[in-house]
Amino acid sequence: MALPRECVYRTSLKWESGNVWRQCGEGVAVECAPPPEFGGPPNHWTPEHLLLAAIESCTLSAFLAYAEHARIGLLDYRSAA
């Protein structure tokens, strides 16, 4: 699979009041807030969650690409950070 020479990813953020905002990226949005330890409400994605999720997702993407290239059939993949 040939990779494009340039990849561009765009995100946007909308905050109106309080300590909850919407983080958007190419048609997908998630409500984010600071962690509860820093005054944020519970049950929201935090910037820290998003960073860890990005690292996990990138690791999985690379693993899947290598497995496909090596013709390795995967049955399962799990990660926790």
Q: At a CB cut-off of 8 Å and minimum separation 6, what does 56 contact? A: 79, 81
Give the number of domains in the chain: 2
In a domain, 1, yes or no: no
The two tokens of residue 11 are 């995100």
My answer on whether 15 and 37 are in the same domain is: yes
My answer on whether 25 and 40 are in the same domain is: yes
Residue pLDDT, tens place only, 8-45: 999 999 999 999 999 999 999 999 999 999 999 999 99
- pLDDT category, 1, cuts 50, 70, 90? low
Q: At a CB cut-off of 8 Å and minimum separation 6, what does 1 contact? A: none
Q: Specify the DSSP element, H or E, that contains 23.
A: strand 21-25
pLDDT at 62 over 70: yes
Range of the domain at 28: 10-45
pLDDT at 2 over 80: no
**% of the chain beyond a pLDDT of 70:** 99
